Amino acid sequence: MDWHLIATLVVLPVALYSQLRTRRVNALALLLSPVVYAALAARAAVEAGAAGLSLGLPGLLLCCGTALGYAQGRATTVFYDPAVQNYRQRGGAWPLGYWAAALLLRQGAALLLDRGLHPAAARLSTDLTIDAVLLGLLAGRAAALLGRHPGLWHAGAAQLRGDTVVPPPVAGRPRAPSRPW
Per residue in 61-97, pLDDT (tens digit) is: 899 989 999 998 898 888 888 888 888 888 777 777 8
* Radius of gyration over every alpha carbon of the chain, rounded to an integer in angstroms: 19
Q: How confident is the model at residue 38, as a pLDDT?
A: 92
Q: How confident is the model at residue 126, as a pLDDT?
A: 76
Closest CA to 151 of 95, 77, 90, 86: 86
158 falls in which pLDDT band (50, 70, 90)? confident
| Residue 69 CB partners (closer than 8 Å, separation 6+) | 98, 102, 136, 137, 138, 139, 140, 141, 142, 143, 144
What percent of the chain has a predicted confidence (pLDDT) above 90? 10
- How confident is the model over 155-161, as a mean pLDDT? 81
Q: How confident is the model at residue 179, as a pLDDT?
A: 47
Report pLDDT digits (tens) over 126-152: 778 888 888 998 899 999 999 998 888
As a whole number of Å, the end-to-end CA separation of the chain is: 59
Q: How confident is the model at residue 122, as a pLDDT?
A: 73
Distance of CA 66 to the CA centre of its chain: 9
| pTM of the complete model | 0.76
12 falls in which pLDDT band (50, 70, 90)? low
49 falls in which pLDDT band (50, 70, 90)? confident
